[in-house]
Amino acid sequence: MFVFQRLTTAAHHYILGSFFSLASIYYLAKSFEKRSIIDLLLASISGFLTAFIFVPAILLVYISIPVFLILFLTRVSYKLNKNKYRRIFISLLIFISLSIVPIIYLRYVAQFPEFKAFINTEQIAPYDIRPSNYLMIVGMTYLFSFFSIRRILAKGKSLELLLFSYLIIHPAAVFLATKVLEINKVRFFFTSYFIVFGVLATFGIIEIAEFIKRRWNKIPTVLILGILLFIILYPSRHNFGMSYARNRVCFCQKEFFDYGYPQKEVMETINYLKKESGEYDAVLSGYFAGVLIPAFSGNRVYTSWWQRLMQTDNLGVVSENVERFYSRRMQNEEALSFLRKEGIKFVFLGDEERNKSADRKDLNYPFLTEKSRFGTTILYRVEEGI
């Protein structure tokens, strides 16, 4: 997936989690190099926000610390630099003590049924990521990142050592930490690892290019860099194609949607629904709106993406009813009977719902009255008197 896409169209907590985790690493490394209370404070605040917004992102930072210390020991003698090590340990103690507060709170609420239900849903769609296909996911940048080790160890900068530790701890977190923490493996792929790997791969490319240039100085540097970039990008051509195909069509034509950025007309319709409906008025919609409606208008919905994810026992019947209703394959009497049986007061019609019929036209059931229209998104009310 394109880095630009990951930085602009991902859900808000993923973007912010990546941003603040990188900020915490940056300021933490600065606090290691010099006595700066401001840098340590900024690192702690960034770490706290990371833990509050998206826990897996801060877990990567925590796990990277032991690896960083080992790498640092290979570069800087403890006996000759005791003051520097003391400063590092004090900084780490303060950083962890302040940033871990949201995680302690999570452990507290873990005793309640709602949190246990969340843990169970994490395991419903486990995304079977194996070591054999890990490289296919992270791409060639991961391999090229290892060529940066000579440069990083030679300089011994704290920031670069912290970043390099991600090469070890990211796969370890995916395959080991997820089992202990009972979270989905895919969660660690929503962190800032791709930015870290990109930076390290750049260092690695420079190292390779300089090595080739020293051996065969007649080869143009531009040609060397071009070949290396081709080696990195070519194996991922299918991912780029899929990413482009996903974003050039309507979100509703794909299996997974980006809930962080719903269409404006969808939200306008849901806001109207909130004003014009009662709390217990049920709404019929597709999977996408079925997630947004309870969150923003408070209404009960007939189905949602979560029901499909959890594969409930009645999912087959529910899905068939939704498909037949929106494709207008239900007769008027059957459709009205279905709505009354389920206590549905409103019917939502957006792009996702329209795509269930061949002509994508408005619904023409006689018992539906149009209450609002924003763009192509319509809200109908079910008339009881018919």
| Domain residue ranges of the chain, discontinuous segments joined by + | 3-247, 264-382
What tokens were used for 9?
Answer: 């169209």
pLDDT exceeds 90 at position 48: yes
Please list the helix, strand and coil fractions of the chain in percent, rounded to the nearest 5, in that order.
Answer: 70, 5, 25
Give the helix/strand (H/E) hosting 344: strand 344-349
Classify strands 344-349 and 377-382 as parallel, antiparallel or unpaired.
antiparallel
Distance between CA atoms of residues 184 and 127, nearest Å: 7
Region class of 54: left (phi > 0), else alpha (psi between -120 and 50), else beta: beta
Classify strands 282-284 and 344-349 as parallel, antiparallel or unpaired.
parallel
Nearest alpha-carbon partner for 197 in 238, 236, 241: 236
Q: Report which listed range, 9-13, 117-121, 328-332, is most confident.
A: 328-332
Mean model confidence pLDDT for the chain: 84
**Is residue 57 classed as helix, strand or coil in its secondary structure?**
helix
Distance between CA atoms of residues 109 and 270, nearest Å: 31
- Which string of DSSP letters, residue by residue, matches 263-331? -HHHHHHHHHHHHHS-TT-EEE--HHHHHHHHHHT---BS--HHHHHHT-TTHHHHHHHHHHHHTT-S-
Burial of 41 (0-12, 13-18, 19+ CB in 10 A): middle
Given a contact cutoff of 8 angstroms between Cβ atoms, the answer to whether 286 and 307 are in contact is no
* pLDDT tens digits, 317-355: 999 999 999 998 999 999 999 999 999 999 999 988 998
Distance between CA atoms of residues 296 and 310, nearest Å: 22
- Say what the pLDDT of residue 337 is: 94
pLDDT exceeds 50 at position 256: no
**Is residue 3 classed as helix, strand or coil in its secondary structure?**
helix
* pLDDT tens digits, 176-188: 888 887 788 888 8
* pLDDT tens digits, 209-237: 888 888 887 778 788 888 888 887 777 77
**Is residue 346 classed as helix, strand or coil in its secondary structure?**
strand
Give the helix/strand (H/E) hosting 380: strand 377-382
Secondary structure string (H, E, C) spanning 65-128: HHHHHHHHHHHCCCCCCHHHHHHHHHHHHHHHHHHCHHHHHHHHHCCCHHHHHHHHHHCCCCCC
pLDDT exceeds 70 at position 169: yes
- Say what the pLDDT of residue 125 is: 60
- Say what the pLDDT of residue 326 is: 94
pLDDT exceeds 90 at position 95: yes
What tokens were used for 271?
Answer: 């806001």
- pLDDT interval class at 1 (50, 70, 90): very low
pLDDT exceeds 70 at position 5: no
Which is higher by pLDDT, 236 or 297? 297
For residues 356-383, average pLDDT: 91
What tokens were used for 81?
Answer: 């630099």
- Say what the pLDDT of residue 113 is: 64
- pLDDT interval class at 252 (50, 70, 90): very low
Share of the chain above pLDDT 70, in %: 85
For residues 141-147, average pLDDT: 90
Q: Give the list of residues 6+ apart from residue 325 with CB closer than 8 angstroms, or none.
A: 284, 335, 338
For residues 119-125, average pLDDT: 65
- pLDDT interval class at 243 (50, 70, 90): low
Instruction: Give the count of beta carbons closer than 10 Å to the beta carbon of residue 21.
Output: 28
- pLDDT interval class at 6 (50, 70, 90): low
Give the helix/strand (H/E) hosting 282: strand 282-284
| Cβ burial 57-69 (10 Å sphere, 16+ → b, else e) | bbbbbbbbbebbe
- Say what the pLDDT of residue 221 is: 76
pLDDT exceeds 60 at position 254: no
Query: Phi and psi (nearest 5°) for 256?
Result: -115, 140
Distance between CA atoms of residues 382 and 363, nearest Å: 12
What tokens were used for 335?
Answer: 């459709």
Given a contact cutoff of 8 angstroms between Cβ atoms, the answer to whether 374 and 270 are in contact is no
* pLDDT tens digits, 258-290: 555 688 899 999 999 999 998 789 999 998 899
Nearest alpha-carbon partner for 166 in 27, 29, 14, 62: 62
pLDDT exceeds 50 at position 39: yes
- pLDDT interval class at 34 (50, 70, 90): confident
